Structure formats: C-alpha cells, structure tokens
A and B are shown apart, each in its own frame.
Chain A
C-alpha cells in the first residue's frame, strides 16, 4: 500500500493534487473560522451550488470549469451582498438566489449534448483530476484571498464578534460583510476542487467548528483550523492514493473524526465554565 502511494507520487496528477490540496486547505482553514463565527453555513452551501451552475455553464460553453466555478460563486456573492443588506434578510435572500441559480444549472446540464463527466466531478470533487494550469489558477486565487484576508483580518474580527461596538468605532461593518462574501466565494471555488459542491461544508465549516471546541484564543483558533484542514486534505489525498477510493470520502471522514475528538476533549480544555459561574463571580467581586 505504501509502495503504491510512493509510486503514484511520482506522477504529475498526484503532485498537482498535493500542491493544490495544501494551498486550498490553508485558505479553507482560515475562512471557515469566520464562516462559523458569522453563522454563514447556509451561504457557503448556496455559493457552492451556484458555483456548480457556473461550472455547468462553462462546460456548456467549452471553457474551463474552474473559471466557471469562480465566476458562479463571485456573481452569487455580489448578488447576495446586494440583496441581503440586513442580517435577518440574509438567509431568505440566500435561499431565493440559490433556488434560481440551481435551476439554471439544471438547464445547462440538460443542454449539454454529452454525458457531463466534468459536472459530476464538480459535484463530488476530483482533486486528482486538476491540471497544471488549474493548479496555477488555484494558487493565484489562494494568494489573492489570503492577502485580502490579511488586510481585513482585524476589523473583520471586530465586526464579526462585536458588530455594535465595531460600528460605533467607525468600522465599515456592512462593507466588510460584502468583502467577506467575496472572500468566501473564492474559498468555495477552491474547496470545491477537493471535496465537490455537495461536500463543501466539510472544509468550510468543520475545521472552524472543531477549532472553536479547542480554544477561544483567536490566533490559536485560526492555527488549529488550518492544521485540521491540512490534515484532512493531505491525509485524504494519501489515503485515496493508497486505497483507491474518492478523496472526498477520506477528507469528510478525517475532518468529522477530528470534530468528534474535539467535542470530547473540548469539555476539558475549555472548562465547564457555565456550571462554575458562581465561583468566578465570587472571586471577581471587589
């Protein structure tokens, strides 16, 4: 089994997969922290399905599905940002936009004259199918995303956890909401390469949700989240090479396994503070 992995690593497709996987995991790990903190699971799901529509349109037009995916998620992010200004509107708007976009996706697939293998790949992920050209595009998008994240990191954190005071301190809370949707659009387009549209949440929710169980320190949580995403993706690619099952099977299993472990260990790490409030209050009294 190990021999097989070593042998396959000599091939371009496996090397491409590993490079793309590492880059994608870093982006997904960071973005998932914010997705979880901002309660945006539904928006992630919608962006990925609309990315599918973009990819299906690209296949129909005979252009790169990866580019189509990126266009699909970005256009949807802008649409959601434009229509869903208030938080309470957001989920509704996401649902409305998602339903329409997915309808278009069905249309594109139906119009495509042959059996759309590429569309199936978008649904379930085929990191082992990315070309050298795709890897270059993925790395470029990842770098742009990371630069954008670094630039907005602190005000975005402020606006996420404490929007009222952030607004009072002059943070452009609404603008940051749209900027984050665009960052998410890029991250979704990336992560779809590994696990596909239908399993996107395993990379954009699970790492962040797992990290949250382990630590409340923001920088440590980001580091944990990235480590979890890296372990799941790289581990998933190796297992897939060894056992010859789709990568997404292993990525989802590994990330879910880590989540369960964190749930069990987290109770000890974070302390059962809710039960011992009284003690802390008493100690805090002056």
Chain B
C-alpha cells in the first residue's frame, strides 16, 4: 500500500455521547499501521462505542474519525470483527464452516452459492485458525474456545487490513486466552496489519501489545503499557488514588471506591467508574 505510513485509524478531537451523557470528549489519537493496540478501561467507558465508531455504526457528536484516511462506512470489507466470546445457542442451525462462510459473503443478497475460490478461502481461514478438527460439527455443541477460533477464522476470511476485537477473551479459561491471543498476534505480525483489541484485562496480552489506549471517566491516555499503566497516570485518569502493582509480571490495578474505602480488585477487573461521566470535562493526558 502506498499509504502505509498513514495511520490506519485516526480520531481527531472526537466526542462521543448520547442524548444526556458524554462518554468521552476531545479524543485525538492515531493507530499506526501494523500495531497491536489494546483499548483498556472499565465497563461503561465507551470502549465498544469506539469500535462501533470505526465500523461506521455510531456517529460522533463532534470531531471526526478516519479509517484508512476516509470517513468510516458501514460494511467496510477491509475491517474484520471478532465479537465478545459468547457461547452460541446450543441448537444454532450452523456448522463452524457456515459461520466462516458468512464472514466472507454473508452480507450479499441472494443465496450466495459459494464458488470454489470462496470454498478455498474458507478452508484456508479455518486452517489458519487451527479449527479444521471441528469445522463440520454443529457450532452450538463446541466449547467457547473452539467457537472463538472459528470466529477469528470468520473475521480473517475476507483478508482484512484491520482487525477489531471486542473482549475476545471474556469467558475463556487461561489456556484458551493464551491460544486466542497468540492466534491474533501471529496474524498481525505475519501480515503487518493492525489489531485493535478491546479488553478489561491487559495481562493475557502483555507480551504482544505495542500500544495502549486507556479510557475512563471521559478521559483518556495513550502510549506504551509502561507509560500508561502506572500508579501516577491511572490516578490522574480515575481522579482518585489507584495503585498499579507488578506481581510476577502481572499488572494488578487496585482502586479506591467512594463507599468502601480501598478495595482489592481482581487482576482482570479494573476499578469501576466512581463518578458518572456525565458533565465531566475530558482532559487529554500526554
């Protein structure tokens, strides 16, 4: 690509809000090509909305978003999307292979009879996700990790330039967390393409993440893991004292809550937002 140097996604002074509430304001950040970016923050801080903005599903209240140098548009085939690991219904009328096929041409009208080229693409995507063993089994009978591998095959089958993942590790056990992370990171390394990875726990991806965007209380900070995930920085972002502890290479965030004094949070649960973001002035931290 000629525009390899240009950022894949760029937010320019972007404000996201709903009728009575600002989620974040004045967000200006570039996601460079080829980076593995983690988007961190507690529930309700607008991480998923950020992905929806890139997908062209949520408009900004102010400012703008650029995807590959242009305004976002719905159904952009250059973007792959992996949703939260959420088990399919046991009786979902689908095999893994069909799920991957839908990722290739599910948006097309008609029956979409798959050509031999399309079948080969589906086959390759399944193989690259290591899901050949169970691609023909009923999807609903597979384990969460198996389903998630197929979801990644589904997202990658169209050969996207940008992969958006929304909590892809939620509800998975540690071994699958490692496998899925490695799968996504290996794709990014191998193709030199960009991954935006929304998560509430940075630990499973510590080894592969290049940059971090942390959003909370309408504020945000960006940089490397060790620039952003510090006691000082998170205390500023949260607006109350937060400790970041390094325990045998795992980062533990311990936060203060308004009602219960200090509360030790589990490593994968960032402190909840104390003050509703409503009316807060967002402050960009360097």
Contact = CB atoms under 8 A, between A and B. Distances in A.
Interface of A: 33, 36-37, 150-155, 157-158, 161-162, 164-171, 211-212, 216-218, 221, 270-271, 273-274, 277, 280-281, 283-286
Given A37-B92, A284-B131, A167 B106 contact: no
Interface residues of B, number: 47
Contact of B93 (A154, A164, A216): A216
B133 A273 contact: no
A273 B93 contact: no
State the majority secondary structure of interface residues on A: helix
A281 B139 contact: no
B133 A284 contact: yes
12 contacts: A153-B112, A157-B106, A161-B92, A166-B107, A171-B107, A218-B93, A270-B138, A277-B142, A280-B133, A280-B137, A280-B143, A284-B146
A165 B103 contact: yes
A212 B93 contact: yes
A166 B102 CA distance: 8
Contacts of B120: none
A157 B94 CA distance: 10
A270 B141 contact: yes
B204 interface: no
Given A154-B106, A280-B143, 13 more contacts: A165-B151, A165-B155, A167-B57, A170-B76, A171-B75, A216-B94, A218-B94, A274-B141, A277-B141, A280-B133, A281-B146, A283-B133, A284-B133
B95 interface: yes
Given A165-B154, A280-B146, A170 B75 contact: yes
B210 interface: no
Nearest to B73: A170
The residue in B55, B106, B112, B140 that gathers the most chain A C-beta atoms within 10 A of its C-beta is: B106
Contacts of A216: 92-95, 137-140
Contacts of B56: 170
B66 interface: no
B26 interface: no
A151 B110 contact: yes
B83 interface: yes
A158 B102 contact: yes
Contacts of B110: 150-151, 153-154
A169 B75 contact: yes
Contacts of B131: 284
A200 to B, nearest CB: 21
Contacts of B88: 161
A216 B138 CA distance: 5
Interface string B74-103: 111001010100001011111100110011
Given A169-B75, A171-B75, A277 B143 contact: yes
B145 interface: yes
B106 A169 contact: yes
A113 to B, nearest CB: 49
Nearest to B99: A162
Given A155-B108, A170-B75, A271-B141, A284 B98 contact: no
Contacts of A212: 91, 93
A154 B133 contact: no
B18 interface: no
Contact of B107 (A33, A153, A158, A274): A158
The residue in B94, B103, B130, B137 that gathers the most chain A C-beta atoms within 10 A of its C-beta is: B94
B129 to A, nearest CB: 10
B134 A280 contact: yes
Given A154-B112, A270-B141, A280-B142, A218 B130 contact: no
Contacts of A36: 93
Those 9 A-B pairs whose CB atoms lie nearest each other, nearest first: A170-B75, A273-B141, A158-B106, A216-B138, A154-B112, A168-B81, A170-B74, A164-B83, A158-B102
